[in-house]
Amino acid sequence: MSLSTTVAGIQARKMAETEEINFTAGEKADKVSGLVTLPKGARALLVLAHGAGAGMRHKFMEQVAEKLADRGVATLRYQFPYMEKGIKRPDSEAVLTDCVRAAVATAKKLFDALPVFAGGKSMGGRMTSLAAAKAPLDAVRGLIYFGFPLHAAGKPSADRGHHLSEIQLPMLFLQGSRDALADLKLLKPLCTRLGKRAELFVVDGGDHSFHLLKSSGRSDDQALDDAAQKIASWMSQVLG
């Protein structure tokens, strides 16, 4: 798919599957790949970054893209440079945030008719927030975090959330109540301090990836359904 592709052109082909793209990520001109899932009649697009240990093709990322597509939300999943190269250690914060910005710019070039949101899973969400705190992400209407990593496991702290006060966009936090990387006793007050800009949606019984215990009586698929429905309704509120 080339950067000259328009949302109207893709929809005219009645595209139902996911298509791969490539773009340049940041000043070092690293080439990275992305996956676009565009449902017919899409009304918004989410630029979605992966977590530290798994790339854009991870089951969680695929399921999120599928469930959002069912609700009229397109997605652009993409690789960070280290993941594209098959390296385990994440790139520096500067490289990661440059890649976030490049992915957002690519989304706008491809789909200038759609309102754009940005976010990601765990580290991907945090890097998106750091990029937005440093300088506005062009045309992005809101940020969505799937399991915001507020602190390391077993080391409760809200220090990783200090920069969020610099962001002037609406933010949606999707967080499992059993998330070892975000103590709700710390995250809830943080969201309260952010005021109307932030909304917290708790996946009751979910861990960092919204996995539920069998004793909950609910499935992981149901948890993702609830999260996707929340995202779709929240986007509608943001867009008015």
pTM over 0.85: yes
Q: How confident is the model at residue 30 (pLDDT cuts 50, 70, 90)?
A: confident
What string of H, E and C letters represents the secondary structure of 193-217? HHHHHEEEEEECCCCCCCCCCHHHC
Q: What is the pLDDT of residues 63-100, one digit of tens each?
A: 999 999 999 999 999 999 999 999 999 999 999 999 99
Radius of gyration of the chain (CA): 17
The stretch 197-204 carries a mean pLDDT of: 97
CATH number, span 7-239: 3.40.50.1820
Q: How confident is the model at residue 28 (pLDDT cuts 50, 70, 90)?
A: low
User: Beta strand 140-146 with 171-176: parallel, antiparallel or unpaired?
Assistant: parallel
The residue-averaged pLDDT of 185-205 equals 97
- Using DSSP bridges, classify how beta strands 73-78 and 30-37 pair: parallel, antiparallel or unpaired: antiparallel
Which pLDDT does position 226 carry in this prediction?
Answer: 95
Q: Where in the chain are the domains?
A: 7-239
| Predicted confidence (pLDDT) at residue 26 exceeds the cutoff of 80 | no
Token reading at 21? 């793209």
